[in-house]
């Protein structure tokens, strides 16, 4: 395999006169592995992880907020610079929603028509029953 004969195809060969620390090869998954897994010891691991997070719930890294104002400015600028491309993109993005809306509207119309037909049948049946009872009494 390539990589110079280290722990795997993506690991370099160990330094002359030494080997990789015990277990480091098993933890490494290549260049895409977290930095602490590729580090050269506990000092590198601590540096790669950074300072410990502040206490609290939930204990996680702060997430970057979405800058809505900058996003809106970008959209307006895009629409001003390339109106046809912008409108084409918007129409292409909304077309599936229009198709879904039309299909659901058609399905709802069919359900309403079927319900009205059933109600008419029931009403006609009730009228016929009432008419039959009247003729029996006479």
Identify the pLDDT of residue 59. 59
Identify the pLDDT of residue 136. 77
Mean pLDDT by 10 residues, the chain (138 residues): 49 53 49 51 59 60 75 94 96 97 98 97 92 80
Identify the pLDDT of residue 91. 97
**Do residues 28 and 8 lie in contact, with contact meaning Cβ atoms separated by under 8 Å?**
yes
Q: Please, which residues have CB within 8 angstroms of residue 78's CB and are 6 or more apart in sequence?
A: 85, 86
Angle between helices 68-81 and 83-137 (to 10 degrees): 100
3-class secondary structure, 42: helix
CA distances from 128 to 5, 49, 117, 118, 137 (A): 94, 83, 16, 15, 14
């Amino acid at each position: 395999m390539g990589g110079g004969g280290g722990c795997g195809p993506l690991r370099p060969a160990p330094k002359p006169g030494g080997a990789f620390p015990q277990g480091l090869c098993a933890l490494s998954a290549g260049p895409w592995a977290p930095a602490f897994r590729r580090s050269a010891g506990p000092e590198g691991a601590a540096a790669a992880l950074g300072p410990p997070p502040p206490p609290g719930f939930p204990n996680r890294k702060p997430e970057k907020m979405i800058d809505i104002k900058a996003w809106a400015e970008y959209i307006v600028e895009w629409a001003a610079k390339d109106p046809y491309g912008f409108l084409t993109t918007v129409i292409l993005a909304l077309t599936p929603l229009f198709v879904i809306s039309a299909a659901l509207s058609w399905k709802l119309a069919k359900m309403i028509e079927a319900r009205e037909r059933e109600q008419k049948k029931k009403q006609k049946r009730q009228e016929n029953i009432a008419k039959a009872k009247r003729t029996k009494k006479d």
